[in-house]
Amino acid sequence: MATSARRKIALIGAGNIGGTMAHIILEKDLGDVILFDVVDGMPQGKALDLMEMRPTAHLDGTVTGTNSWDDCRDADLFIVTAGIARKPGMSRDDLIATNSRIMTDVANHIKEVAPAAFIIVISNPLDAMVTLCKRVTGFPKQRVVGMAGALDTSRFRHFVAEELGVSVDNVSASVMGGHGDTMVPLPRFCSVAGIPLQSLLTAERIEAIANRTRVAGGEIVKLLKTGSAFYSPAACAVRMAESILLDRKWVTPCAAYLEGEYGVQGLYVGVPVTLGAGGVETIHIIDLNDEERAAFDKSVQHVRELVSSLTPA
């Protein structure tokens, strides 16, 4: 019996996030990895290091390091991290000029070598970069998604679990809106093993956790001093990729293209979606109260202003 072809996953950018994703994908055996970067030797070196790990870890997948887009041809899924990282004192928005040029080049190449692929964008400022990627590729909205809310929600869940001394698996939560300081953690929809968060913590503690979630990325940037988070973004992006490639139907907030949902037209915004074999298969509508709606609208307006600063593709 003939075996089916292995999935091909192209990671664009072989920095800290790219290398970590390659490791996680190899461990999960989601497919064979193409680790691409413009820096000669870096993706090749990381790929060789990972390949030499395989015998000890009993892994059969492959990682190929490359500087050639030809090696990415016909990939099933791309995860794009390419771009400069934040340094202390910088916001995600400060990266837009440089990373727009990089994203335009990346998107044009993806369109050429893999016109049927799915794309997960991690590059910051996320909301603008995923918008630009869709504009340049012209891919259907279901096949281009941004990794933002998945990470923000993971951070929110961690802070709640840490505060209460419980397993993170018991914490359900959701963070909507843009991937920045205006993001909208939703404590009203957060629970611990079904127990509403408001029954477990004071309003002051909940607000402190929500505020820490909003600036969590910056907290890591300040501590690292020479870069930004990579373990958590990598894990969240691979989880999204797994849900698409294996049709897991994972429900998580992602930057999805809205066409009327939540009253938003033609904009990528973080909302809860189902990720499956069709990409973004369903956008879920949460009934926000007045306070939550006002915060969401404020975040949407910030995303709109950020996107408006993009040079037309």
Do the Cβ atoms of 149 and 252 come closer than 8 Å? yes
Cβ-based neighbour number of residue 209 at 10 Å: 22
Q: Which of 158, 179, 284, 302 is catalytic?
A: 179
Identity of residue 138: G
DSSP string, 176-210: EB-SSTT-EE-GGG-EETTEEGGGTS-HHHHHHHH
164-181 b/e (C-beta count within 10 Å ≥ 16 → b): beeeeeebebbbbbbbbe
Q: Could you give the angle at which helices 126-137 and 290-308 cross, rounded to 10 degrees? A: 60
As beta bridge partners, residue 191 has: 172, 196
Q: Is position 179 annotated as part of the catalytic site?
A: yes
Give dist(CA 230, CA 18) in Å, integer. Answer: 8
Residues acting as catalytic residues: 179
